[in-house]
Each structure stands twice: as structure tokens, then as C-alpha cells.
């Protein structure tokens, strides 16, 4: 059932600079603190909220109509929403989609996510672009009682994402096998039933659709926790190693991930493929540096140029840190760049099948332009075996 906006505000979003937005609350009640970002995707709000890369962040959706396709367990990218909250323009509406099994508002409430609607998201997005991703406090109280000064103080007290290792909070607790492949009509998700390349995937916050894409490309996937050692990886005798997406500051996660990746590169010649945080981990292991972006890239319509082919891909992105291309060492090539701001979007070693991209070739949500990267990884494994 569609909600009607109450006369008295029942939610409050306070920015660390003292700016306050009032609106109507939905989802869970209570208060939370996080970094605020905006996402420009028109669809896929469920996949976005369950993307582990959004840990520690509240998502502002620039598209005004959120919730109109409902929710379905098939679209979860992990077990529960990971984003701390949601900011939208219009009331989430009653779902109208044949796949819907429930309503967004009920789903968020059951999973403890605090949300606010009725906000001028265009104004809020401009503020984020101009000032950088702010620290915020978001409160939902059905009675509309807010201590604004305390909320602003809470926003200012938020430590931020710099220096924060969040991969450990979203990674798997133990290793597991993955065989589910990409969704396809009419059977939906199906399982691999033939042997494939043995790939070890390091889970810094892996989305399910990344693992599905690996399986669909011919890989027999074993997932290991973020803190896995090179001994753990090599003990499985992999044909290839995959480094997943994830949240937080890459320099913090890199304290344990980078030595592991260096040891893999030194002690094995297997192909290595990284996405998002995995891209940043590989870059750090190869000697580059990462930096915090002003407001990051979050959306499903980001143009990326392949420097080696001249091809332009429309991609999904979700990152607040980036690899500093000026710090790439000799022997490491910049393969892809953002056509929005020229930031680095891909690297590869000149003499080995070791490569990574900043964007999300698995989409979910987003375009399918970049799926070929999974096939490139599988082809590199096949070439090594031949």
C-alpha cells in the first residue's frame, strides 16, 4: 500500500555542516550515522541496498520513483541490506511488477534500515557534488520529535570512511563453493553441472552476481574470507585468483590484503582479476597508491573508455576511493579511464595476465557492456593451461 506523506515530519537528515532536511520516515525507526552518497541509477534499488560496497553509507537516489517494482529475494546481492539507510524524493509506491514478492518499505523495516522520503534530492545531490560526501545522521521517529542539535553533533562525531577497514565486517565467515550462474529466461538461476576452471575468489564484500558471472564464464568458484593468506589460496591449487569488490578505505584493507596478493604474484603465475576494491588492492600490491574522491562514482550510466581498443563502455560504478594513475609503476598499464573525470578505471600488468577494473562488469543493476572481462579472465586461464 502506498504511504501518504504526514503533515508533521517524521524523519530528519542532519549534515555535519549544520544543514537539516526534514521528511517522512519509512523502514525502521531509530537513528544512524554514515557517509552520504548519491546514486544515479533509475532501477536496481534492491541490488544497490544489498551491495556490500555500501557499508558505512546512506544512499540518496537521484531518480525520484523508488520502490515501484517491489522486492524479490532473487535480487539480493547479499543476505541483508548493507547500506545504512536511504534518501528518496517521492513516497515509495505500491509495487507493480510480476516478480515482486513484497514491498520495499516492509523489506527495509524488517531489516532495520532507516529511510527518509520527501527530500529535495536534487538540492541534496548538488550539495554532495560541491562539498564532497558529507557525514550525516539520519533519524526516524513516528512522533516527529527530534533533537536537531544532537543530530548535527552526531553527524560531526562520525569518524568517516578514511582509514576504516570495512571488508572484515562484510566478508564471509568461512570458505564455501559457488556454482549458481546468471539469471536467464525461462529458468532463472541455474547451477553449473560441468567441471570448470578452479578459481579462488577473495571475498572483500563480494556481490552474488559477480560470483554468478564467474560461474557462467566457466569457473568452478571457491570463496575465501578477506583475511585468507597466500598459503590458504595456493593450497587449493587454483587456476586463477579473483579479488572482489568491497567497502571502506583500500589502504586499511590493504594492510593484510596487499601482502597476500604480493605473495600470490611472487609464488604463482596464475591469472588474477580484480573488481572495485579488488582493483584497488591489486594496484596497491603493484606499487600504486589510492586516494579519497570528492563524492565518488555511484550509478549505472558511467562511460568508461578502453585505452587499448578505443571502445567506450557504459558501466555500473560504486566507489569513493580511486587508484592514483600518476603512481602506477613501470610495467603496469592504465587500460581504462572514466570519461566523466578522467580517473583511473582499469590496469593490467604488461607481461602477465593480471588485470583489474574499478567499475562493475557484473552490473546488477546496470548495463551488460563489460561482461567480456569475465570471459577474458577465463580465456587467460585456458591459455595458461594449454
Catalytic residues: 276, 360, 362
**What is the total residue count of the chain?**
386
Q: How far is residue 385 CA from its own chain's centroid?
A: 32
Given CA atoms 263, 264, 267, 269 in this order, what sign does their dihedral have?
negative
**Structural element, H or E, at residue 372:** helix 372-385
- CB–CB of 279/357 below 8 Å? yes
Copy the grid coordinates of residue 248. Answer: 571502506
Q: Of 66, 58, 55, 57, which is closest to residue 12 (Cα–Cα)?
A: 58
Whole-angstrom CA distances from 271 to 25, 119, 331 are 48, 47, 16
CA–CA separation, 152 and 75 (whole Å): 35
CA–CA separation, 9 and 13 (whole Å): 11
Q: Is 188 exposed, middle or buried (0-12, 13-18, 19+ CB in 10 A)?
A: exposed
Amino acid at each position: 500500500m502506498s504511504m501518504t506523506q504526514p503533515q508533521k515530519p517524521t524523519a530528519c537528515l542532519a549534515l555535519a555542516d549544520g544543514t537539516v532536511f526534514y521528511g517522512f520516515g519509512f523502514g525502521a525507526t531509530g537513528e544512524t550515522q554514515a557517509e552520504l552518497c548519491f546514486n544515479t541509477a533509475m532501477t536496481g534499488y534492491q541490488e544497490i541496498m544489498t551491495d556490500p560496497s555500501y557499508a558505512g553509507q546512506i544512499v540518496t537516489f537521484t531518480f525520484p520513483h523508488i520502490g515501484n517494482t517491489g522486492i524479490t529475494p532473487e535480487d539480493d546481492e547479499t543476505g541483508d541490506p548493507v547500506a545504512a539507510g536511504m534518501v528518496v524524493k517521492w513516497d515509495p509506491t505500491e509495487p507493480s511488477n510480476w516478480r515482486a514478492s513484497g514491498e520495499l518499505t516492509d523489506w527495509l523495516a524488517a531489516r532495520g534500515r532507516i529511510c527518509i522520503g520527501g527530500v529535495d534530492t536534487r538540492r541534496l545531490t548538488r550539495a554532495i557534488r560541491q562539498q564532497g560526501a558529507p557525514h550525516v545522521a539520519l533519524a526516524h521517529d513516528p512522533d516527529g520529535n527530534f533533537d536537531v542539535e544532537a543530530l548535527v553533533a552526531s553527524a560531526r562525531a562520525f569518524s568517516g570512511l578514511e582509514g576504516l577497514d570495512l571488508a572484515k565486517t562484510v566478508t564471509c565467515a568461512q570458505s564455501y563453493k559457488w556454482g549458481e550462474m546468471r539469471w536467464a529466461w525461462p529458468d532463472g538461476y541455474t547451477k553449473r553441472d560441468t567441471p570448470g576452471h578452479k578459481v579462488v575468489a577473495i571475498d572483500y564484500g563480494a556481490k552474488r552476481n559477480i560470483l554468478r558471472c564467474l560461474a557462467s564464464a566457466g569457473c568452478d568458484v571457491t570463496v575465501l574470507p578477506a583475511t585468507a593468506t597466500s598459503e590458504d589460496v595456493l593450497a587449493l591449487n587454483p587456476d586463477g585468483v579473483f579479488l572482489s569488490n568491497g567497502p571502506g578505505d583500500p589502504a586499511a584493507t590493504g594492510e593484510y590484503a596487499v601482502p597476500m596478493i604480493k605473495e600470490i604474484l611472487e609464488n604463482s603465475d596464475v591469472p588474477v582479476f580484480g573488481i572495485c576494491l579488488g582493483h584497488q588492492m591489486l594496484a596497491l600490491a603493484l606499487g600504486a597508491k589510492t586516494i579519497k574522491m570528492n563524492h565518488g562514482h555511484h550509478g549505472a550510466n558511467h562511460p568508461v573508455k578502453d585505452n587499448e581498443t578505443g571502445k567506450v563502455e557504459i558501466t555500473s560504478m560504486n566507489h569513493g576511493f580511486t587508484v592514483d594513475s600518476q603512481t602506477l609503476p613501470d610495467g603496469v598499464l592504465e587500460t581504462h579511464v572514466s570519461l566523466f573525470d578522467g580517473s583511473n578505471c582499469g590496469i593490467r600488468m604488461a607481461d602477465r595476465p593480471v588485470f583489474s577494473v574499478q567499475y562493475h562488469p557484473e552490473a546488477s543493476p546496470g548495463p551488460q557492456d563489460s561482461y567480456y572481462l569475465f570471459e577474458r579472465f577465463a580465456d587467460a586461464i585456458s591459455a595458461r593451461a594449454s
